[in-house]
Structure 1
Amino acid sequence: MVISLQKGQKIDLTKGNPGLTKIIVGLGWDTNKYSGGSDFDLDASAFLLDKNGRAGGIEDFIYYNNLVGGNGSVKHTGDNLTGAGEGDDEQIKVDLGLVPAHVDKVAITVTIHEAIARGQNFGQVSNAFVRVVNEANEQEVMRYDLGEDFSVETALVVCELYRYQGEWKFNAVGNGFSGGLAALCSNFGLQVG
């Protein structure tokens, strides 16, 4: 049975799913009729964060130009430049058992590439979702549909995977940022050029 989450909801990931160690975090979206004529290139990323919510360095930022991080525990499967088609547009694979001990949280984010230049924001995106899939049997474990609560934001923290008393939990965050990738990186303690 797939669990459907609401914004702000936190749920156990591993305690209720014994043996769940390798997951796929799938993200998908569509653009609505106000697209403005340019393709939307949304980019999923993962930030590996310490107990203070900060990334240790650029190596803790997994995205289309740095596909693997956390000693191989987090892998981005590649950039989808248009978001066309059904199902997941981008995926991030996480081996929970291999995530380094200093990483307390894996924040999953989505940004709009060249949002300012293209005049785009998340108000023009619809049907956005994140889902967690058990990689071993390809069964969907949980899903969070983001709704359409965003207007001017160009970056979103979609969800977090975090450790709690030796288990992994899932937090449906759904927080937006203006300022795109730079604002997101700054929020997690990274400076980008």
Structure 2
Amino acid sequence: MPINLSKGQKVDLTKTNPGLTKIFVGLGWDTNKYDGGNAFDLDCSVFCTNSAGKVDKEKNFVFYNNKQNENGSVVHNGDNRTGAGAGDDEQINVNLSAVPATIEKIAFAITIHEAAARNQNFGQVSNAYVRIVNEVDGQELIRYDLGEDFSIETAVVVGELYRNSGEWKFSAVGSGYRDGLGGLAKDYGLA
């Protein structure tokens, strides 16, 4: 039975699951039927940050055009351009034991590709979630359903894995950005 989180909640991941090293982070969403006639393409992006909360190497910004971080401990499994069907729309594998010591936090975001040009925002997205699954046995450990709190945002940081006293924890963030991937990249030190 997974732990269901609300916005702002934090939970131990490795302390409550001794021996856990390999996980995948599944992200999913649906789009509302009245979307203005343009196809939606939502994307997962991952920011592997240092203690200052910045991505120190471009290789540590993981997305559909850069599918793994500097040492391959964080791997994007590919872009789902339609979001059709049930289950996860995109997945990220994380080998917690191999994440470089210089990476303190791994932030997961969902952005709408070409949101401004297509006149799209997260007010038109529903059933968005993030979940953490034990890669070894397929057990869902943590789930955070984002709810429908968004309107004009074009990017959302859904959650963060972070180190604390030698253990990994997860924080349900749910923070929206109006200026999409560009705004996220700037905040994480990439622009």
Note whether the superposition's TM-score is higher than 0.5.
yes
Partner of 2:115: 115
Q: Distance between the aligned counterparts of 1:60 and 1:54, measured in 2? A: 10
Partner of 2:49: 49
Supply the AA of the counterpart residue of 1:4.
N
Q: Distance between the aligned counterparts of 1:67 and 1:159, measured in 2? A: 19
Give 1:37 deviation, angstroms: 1.4
Question: CA contact under 8 A between 1:107 and 1:157: conserved in structure 2?
Answer: yes
Q: Give structure 1 regions of 4+ aligned residues with deviation exceeding 6 angstroms.
A: none
Question: CA contact under 8 A between 1:111 and 1:180: conserved in structure 2?
Answer: yes
Question: CA contact under 8 A between 1:70 and 1:99: conserved in structure 2?
Answer: no
How many residues are paired up? 191
Q: Distance between the aligned counterparts of 2:14 and 2:157, measured in 1? A: 21
Give 1:34 deviation, angstroms: 2.6
Task: Look up the SS of the partner of 2:117 in the other structure.
Answer: helix
Deviations 1:129-188 (A, max 9, x none): 000000000110010000010000001111000000000000000000011111010010
Question: CA contact under 8 A between 1:23 and 1:93: conserved in structure 2?
Answer: yes
Partner of 2:171: 171
TM-score, with structure 2 as normaliser: 0.99
Task: Look up the SS of the partner of 1:91 in the other structure.
Answer: strand
Q: State the Cα RMSD in Å.
A: 0.7
Q: Distance between the aligned counterparts of 1:32 and 1:130, measured in 2? A: 19
Q: Distance between the aligned counterparts of 1:139 and 1:69, measured in 2? A: 25
Q: Distance between the aligned counterparts of 2:84 and 2:27, measured in 1? A: 13
Give 1:60 deviation, angstroms: 1.1
Write out aligned runs for 1:1-193 (5 A). 1-191=1-191
Give 1:90 deviation, angstroms: 0.2
Q: Which runs of 5+ in 1 are unaligned?
A: none
Q: Distance between the aligned counterparts of 1:110 and 1:28, measured in 2? A: 9
Q: Distance between the aligned counterparts of 1:176 and 1:86, measured in 2? A: 24
Give 1:32 deviation, angstroms: 1.0
Q: Distance between the aligned counterparts of 2:187 and 2:90, measured in 1? A: 23
Structure 1 vs Structure 2: percent identity of aligned residues?
A: 63
Supply the AA of the counterpart residue of 1:69.
N
Q: Which runs of 5+ in 2 are unaligned?
A: none
